[in-house]
Every structure is written in structure tokens, then in C-alpha cells.
Amino acid sequence: KINSRSRAADIADDEWTSLEDLAACADIISLHCPLTEENKKFIDRQFLSRMKHTAFLINTARGGLIAEEDLADALNEGRIAGAGLDVLSAEPPERGNPLLQAKNCIITPHIAWAAKEARARLIKIVGENIRGYLNGKPQNIVN
């Protein structure tokens, strides 16, 4: 669960720090978590106000993690440096989504996974799965 009392790993010294402290000291915050009722729109005005003015927010997880109006305001007012978003709360984006016109906001069409390297790895895994099946040693079985 992610909420205002959750904790995030501080990789530098293997201790834990609060999300509030993380927001205040991170240069880049990249979201990689599922969307749950507990973390819906947890990136909101309050969280964004804690971020450094030079910080960037990246979201390749789920659009509903971010209060989009709050992020657009933070970007347009220069409270954070920028955002890179591969997901929005509604896809395709609804007309009037404030992030479509926000300053320093790059939005990709939910294709962050589609780098050439990722596609090549996917094709290799499929080939290995087929070979394994044909040789009587199936891999990556889902029951």
C-alpha cells in the first residue's frame, strides 16, 4: 500500500525513508506500482509541493496514481521541472485533459515497453517457449 505513511527504500544506505522525505530529496521520481484504492491519486498537490523545483516525475505505471489537474498546475507554475508520462487516467486522453497543454510534460502513447530491445527480448522468449514445448520441456507455464 502506498499512502502518506508508507515508506520507500533509500537505496543509498539500505535504510527506509518516508514518501514525504523521498519527495523532498529526489531528483527523479519514477512510478512502478499497481493502482489500488489506497494509492489512487497519491501524487497530488500536497505531494508535488514537497518535490524539488528541479525534480522530474516519470509515470509508466498507471495514470490513476496522479491527480492530473494538480500535476498540470505544478508544471505550469514551475513548481517541478517536468514530467514524462506513458499513461494517463483515461486512454485515449479525454479532450480537455490539462496535461495535454502542460509545460514541460511529455506524453507517450502507452508504449514505454516497446523499445527495440524489449521487443527483441519478447520474440526471443517466445521462441524459447516454443522450442521448449516441442522438446517436451515447456517453460513459463501458466495454469
pLDDT in tens, 62-77: 999 999 999 999 999 9
**What confidence score (pLDDT) does residue 84 get?**
98
d(CA 28, CA 19): 13
User: What's the confidence (pLDDT) of residue 111?
Assistant: 85
| Segments of the chain with pLDDT less than 50 | 1-11
Please spell the DSSP secondary structure of 17-60, one letter per residue. Answer: EEHHHHHHH-SEEEE-----TTTTT-BSHHHHHHS-TT-EEEE-
What element of type H or E holds 74? helix 68-76
Q: Which residue among the candidates 77, 91, 94, 128 is catalytic per the annotation? A: 91
pLDDT, residue 10, reads 43
- The pTM of this model reads 0.74
Catalytic residue check, 110: yes
